[in-house]
Amino acid sequence: NAGVMQNPRHLVRRRGQEARLRCSPMKGHSHVYWYRQLPEEGLKFMVYLQKENIIDESGMPKERFSAEFPKEGPSILRIQQVVRGDSAAYFCASSPVQGGRDSPLHFGNGTRLTVT
């Protein structure tokens, strides 16, 4: 019973390149959340998606960042023209019900993005 799968685990990009982070939720989960974590900082909400729908992207920068969760396949967090400040750990979490308020979120092990 696989958990939330994220890949790659580590990603190195030069400034100006594109980064694509993938997340496959737990089986049966249709809600996906993306978070960013900087060293010594708490997890920061970025975006909440359901299949083929972005429910809320209020935590995601308006430029260069986008996310999708297609009908088939993993959720993708895409960062265009990366800058050094994008270096962070990006975590994906999934839940079977809306909002995650009453059920634990299941987290993947993250993708560590390093921008050189």
Considering only residues 20 to 59 of the shown chain, the ones binding other proteins according to CB under 8 A are: 33, 40-45, 47-48, 55-56, 58-59
From 18, 16, 8, 6, select the one nearest 79 (Cα to Cα): 18
- Supply the minimum distance, in Å, between the C-beta of residue 37 and other proteins: 9
- Supply the minimum distance, in Å, between the C-beta of residue 107 and other proteins: 3
Half-sphere exposure for 78 (CA within 13 Å, toward CB): 11
Residue with Cβ nearer other proteins (98 or 116): 98
Give the span between the Cα atoms of 112 and 5, in whole angstroms.
Answer: 14
Give the span between the Cα atoms of 20 and 80, in whole angstroms.
Answer: 9
Residue with Cβ nearer other proteins (6 or 75): 6
Asked if 99 interacts with other proteins (CB under 8 A), we say yes
By CB under 8 A, how many residues form the interface with other proteins? 28
Q: How many residues does the chain have?
A: 116
Give the span between the Cα atoms of 27 and 96, in whole angstroms.
Answer: 9
Residue ranges binding other proteins (CB under 8 A): 4, 6, 33, 40-45, 47-48, 55-56, 58-59, 91, 93, 99-102, 104-110
